[in-house]
Structure formats: structure tokens, C-alpha cells
Structure 1
């Protein structure tokens, strides 16, 4: 259960350095696609109907780009900078479609640290099983920053 359990916050901006990297691999499974489609009620036939997709330039169903974006923003929230972060900008280019059951390798790298504005810019690259680039771009996030008036007691329920 997540409620009532204290979780460690991610790192503050002053503890993050240019050049830090995070690599992760995600396999796109049916359950992931079904959860996304159920959550968003997005019935785009390009995502789920093999018959329809076979008549398009893609030839088979594709993974929704916003689902791939979610994997990237989740990596920012979980790891770099980590829990308590807020994504305030993203510029992603989807170079090549990602198909169902793909295994995607994501590389996130800190390319800019702006302590004055509490911002970290993270370059993103994702490659498929053939090591072809499928996504590139940047995500700008605010690392966790607690205001001085908050005490540790106020965070007991976090």
C-alpha cells in the first residue's frame, strides 16, 4: 500500500551533475497496451486492430506515442531526478514507429543543470531491438524542492 508509507524523495538540483546517465529497457506487453487504452478510452484502430493496421503504411498495430512518453516521464519521476520531480517541458520526436511486443532501450542523460531555476534538462534517446533510433528529444524537470515552512512532521503522511 502506498498511502501511509514514507518514500525517499529524489535528489535536489544541487546534487545532480551534467553527464549523469540512466539506462532502462522496457518490453511493450499486451497488458500495458490494454491498460493504456482502458485508461484513456482511446480506440484508435491503428493501436489495436491488426486488420486495419495491415492496410496502412505501418502494416501492423503501433504503440501509442503518448504511452512511450509515459515511460520516459516515469523514469524522470522514479530515477532522474526522482520522486517529487515535476516535468514542466518535453520535446520528443518519434522517428520510427514502435510495434507491439517491442523491447525498447531508453537512455536519459543530464545535459543541463540550472540551479537558479531548479531545472534539469535531460536528453532522451530510445532504440529498438535493431538498435535503430525510435525517439529523441529532451525533458525539462524540476527536481524535488520543499519549501522552508514544511517540516518533516508535515511530510509524515507522504
Structure 2
């Protein structure tokens, strides 16, 4: 097994229980946005140009949804079920925009464990300041074998 020294494999299917939760808080900083934009070469003015965004209904630059998705998938890979897990399917709805410098609270909760298929359904809910819900959905995850 090739793992970084000190890296532990995530939870196996029989170690995961319905109702298990993970909560995390992320603040979207300039460095995160610049890394994303540099990696993807995405130059959508709605993400980077304050002057352009000011003329849209949003009034200020948005955080790309793929960045938000990345925070969620990273939490799956790092914590629940953890290293060695793989997302097979995701159905996420982006209910409200997230703007630069906002802080989001993300809750992941195990909804269903299918031992026979080795699949865990993880419900995701994210909200920003003033409890405004911004993301909701379910990911089907294969825990490590």
C-alpha cells in the first residue's frame, strides 16, 4: 500500500454508521480563488472582475461552484469515510451564490449504508452567514476496501 508516512486509511463500510456527522467551516480567501483560477485557466469575469460583477444581479464576484464542490469532496477524502474513499455519484444543488471572503459551514451526514454494494450515501448541507443555505445534496461514496 502506497500511503504517505503517517496517513491512515479511511473507515471501511462496516465501521460507518447512519447519523455519523462531520461539520467544517471554510472561509473563501483570495489565495484559494487564485489557485483555482490558475489550475483551471477559468477567466470568467463573474469570478474575478469586481467591475464586471458590479453590473450583474450579483453585484460582486462569485466563488465558482466547482471550488465549493472541491471543499466537499476534500472532506470526503480526508475525513468521512476518509483516505481511500471514492465518490461514485453526486447530486448537489447550489441554492444561493457564495461571494468572495464569505464563510461557509458544511455538514456531511451519513444517510444510508449499503454493506452489500459497499456504498454510503452522505447528505450535504452548506450555509453561509445568517444561516442562508447555499448547497444541498447527496453523494454516493465507496469507502476504502
- TM-score interval, smaller chain: over 0.9
Task: List runs of 5+ in structure 1 lacking aligned partners.
Answer: 146-158
The alignment's TM-score, normalised by the length of structure 2, stands at: 0.96
Change (3 A) 1:9 1:135: same
Report the equivalent of 2:92. 92
Q: CA RMSD in A?
A: 1.3
Cα displacement (A) at 1:7 = 1.4
Q: How many residues in Structure 1 have an aligned counterpart in Structure 2?
A: 144
Please tell me whether Structure 1 or Structure 2 has the larger radius of gyration of its CA atoms.
1
Q: Which has the higher strand share?
A: 2
Q: Following the alignment from structure 1 to structure 2, what is the Cα–Cα distance between the partners of residues 31 and 76?
A: 22
Cα displacement (A) at 1:134 = 0.5
Task: List runs of 5+ in structure 2 lacking aligned partners.
Answer: none
SS of the aligned residue for 2:34 comes to helix
SS of the aligned residue for 2:134 comes to strand
The alignment's TM-score, normalised by the length of structure 1, stands at: 0.89
Alignment of 1:1-150 (within 5 A): 5-145=5-145
Cα displacement (A) at 1:51 = 0.6
